[in-house]
Chain A
Amino acid sequence: MLAEPIGRHRELDRVERELFLRSTIGRNLPSTRELAELMRDVAFEAGSTIYHEGDVAEEIFFVLRGTVALSKAGGVRHEYGPGSVIGIFDVEQDKPRARTALALTDVALLALSSEDRLELLEDSFEQTSAIIRMAAARLDEFARYGGGPLDPGVTLAPKPEPLLLIERVFTLRDTPAFRRASIQALVSLAPAADEVRLAAGERLFERGEARAVLFVVVAGCLELQRADGQRERFGAASLLGGGAAFGDALVRQSARALTSAVLLRIREEDFYDVMEDHFELARSLLAYLASEQERRLEEREEAASRGRAPPHEDARSAR
């Protein structure tokens, strides 16, 4: 259900709206007007609810003016000012609203429906890849890549050599980043990958080597070591380095196999080529990146509530 403004609908400052579009999301698009055609403007009075936790998420909102608070029952409240994007994580993951959005002051928003946004991205591949890189860079900032506390001993599974195509497709389908992609897309991606086999203890790459490449673990356990000495482990059906791997994160790491391991190495160029032909792959990846960012923010909130780190949210950010 589209959000219905319940407050007095203020006539938005047209200049402000156009300036906003030109200086933010519309800047890299061929036509700001084209983007504007897809949006509607909504206004809410202070104290009114923009959407409730549990509502169907169909739109993302760009804050033009005013302050919006996002909170979930019993959780921390975050405030967002002009230039922020709200509701995007839910829309990307196609799930109900995780938080309630409340107008703290009179707010002016631009609303863009999920369908229209996807259509826009499908037609603008550069924009899509830029968003992916941006989300990856944001994940990189969290200094956690989503590795788990794996016991290397239980991650061993014999795999035929060479890997069967279907085995590759199964692995990709089980990998969270590609879980929502179409089978057709995975069937196209699977043969484009190279198979890498490592013995226990063998290096996959050293710092500075892993440029424009992605690794999907088929079997075994890999350890990623960051420049600050922190280590994370990745097991079967996981993307080495998590969502941050779509940026420059891997260049600054080194990786080695803790057990004998099988991986798929996918050149970034090949990945984007398949993505251009199969937009659902981009949708799947965007959903994964959104879920990862949300998870990191929640971990940070939890740590903050335990007094381990201060809660921090950029005023011009997305959630």
Chain B
Amino acid sequence: MKNILKNTALLIFFSFALTSCVDKWLDMRPDDQVVLEEYWTSAADVEAVVASCYRYMITDDYMYRLFYWGELRSDNIAMDNANTDESNLWNVNIQPDNGITRWNSFYQVINYCNTVIYYAPGVMAVDQNFKEYELRTYLSEALTIRALSYFHLLRTFGKVPLVVKPSKDDSEDFNVPQNTEKEIIDQIIADLTTAEGYARDSWATTASTKGRVTKNAVRALLSDVYLWNQEYDKCIESCDKVLNDKINEIILLETDYLYSKAFYEGNSPESIFELNFNSNLTKNNVTPNLFGNINKNISRGHLKGSASLINAYSLSYDTRLKSTLVAKYSNNKIEMTSAIFKYEGQKVPADFSKELYVFRSASSTANWILYRLPDIYLMKAEALAEIGETSNLRQAITLVNKTYTRANPEIDSLKFEDFNTAASVKKLVLEERRREFAFEGKRWYDLLRLARREGSTANAVQYILPNYSDATLITEKMAQLGAWYLPVNEAQISINRNLKQNDYYNSIYGTK
């Protein structure tokens, strides 16, 4: 009996000892990952998540949409080897199940930005070496990338949910409704204003100065936002800050170097902000797929240049044409093809026994340019033209001439006398923007800005009509401004019932 008691006591003792260990034993953490509880302890932790904000902008999903949303439906584009989603969008046959309307990649980037903005300030308390100015720099990057993402969402969908807190766990309600355009634009402007104060002027390397957020990058984006929001004075003011920055001067490239330096090499002196692709693991798959690149086993791109785009240039004089679309030489004459040259082409010295271009090699990577100096000129010109008054219009023509004369060295610059009304200057700026930024993901937003400003699609729709055989149908389809935005993806509505479909699409397809 004594033995039994002793043994039982021992058993109980051991089981107690065991239970205290058990909890520890079951608290297992991953070997190859860090958990939130152990993260956010050093400056390096902050920097790595900031890097992710950029890293997920250069994913295919994000990159494709930068182009699709900004240009696919415009008059610059014709279908080549397009997929169903692309041709449906281009054909103005837009269903809410079109994959292009999925905004996942944008909100993924936004969530990473939110994460930085939420957690980074706390690191100062943990890491003594993490300085205030470093924090500010990182915040400026996160705020700018977030603003950039929202700016694209805003221009594509009109109203979108505005999420500014990181998503942490499953207890939160993610079924958030859309915010108004004003709420979104206010947030964007507020973020960018803060970021402008926080951002660095430049980085140690050229690649970083062009590839990461700088004060000028923030200003360029802010100018674009003001222009969209029809705050022309502020737009001009912001553009001037870039133009007057003499320390980190942005310099316009010379005619001959534009395509080899800006698009082939990347990070050129005229660039303000561009997404850098520079390793095998972060290849740019988007431009070769969309525009075609024989060296990457893609004989035909999804898209090609439209006939009206070719006509927008002067074949004999405008050097941009032969560098935007593939030019072929036959019978001692240059003939334009509709294949896209920008980003994927490399110009070779004019040797008339050969074609004028080669494609990038299979391993090369093209940077995607968000803003470069001509954009500042032309945004300012647009703002000036909108304000009107002769002096402003004159100034606008001068700005347009910066890119125009560079592209047409053999002819005279544009004269104010030929464009002496506000309307004609506006039209000129729009055309010059088209020629300068074709295939850079901007044309659709330019046209939409026009329609919004005029409160009518009547003029804007005229630009896209040459692309379609049935003008009446397209005019009818695009009559409402709502049709110029994209519908909210139906799968996203079926998950999040608080989302409302864009009114225009709602009227066509009905409520689900």
Q: Do A and B come from one complex?
A: no
Q: Which of A's residues lie within 8 Å of B, judged by CB? A: none
Chain B residues with CB under 8 Å of chain A are: none
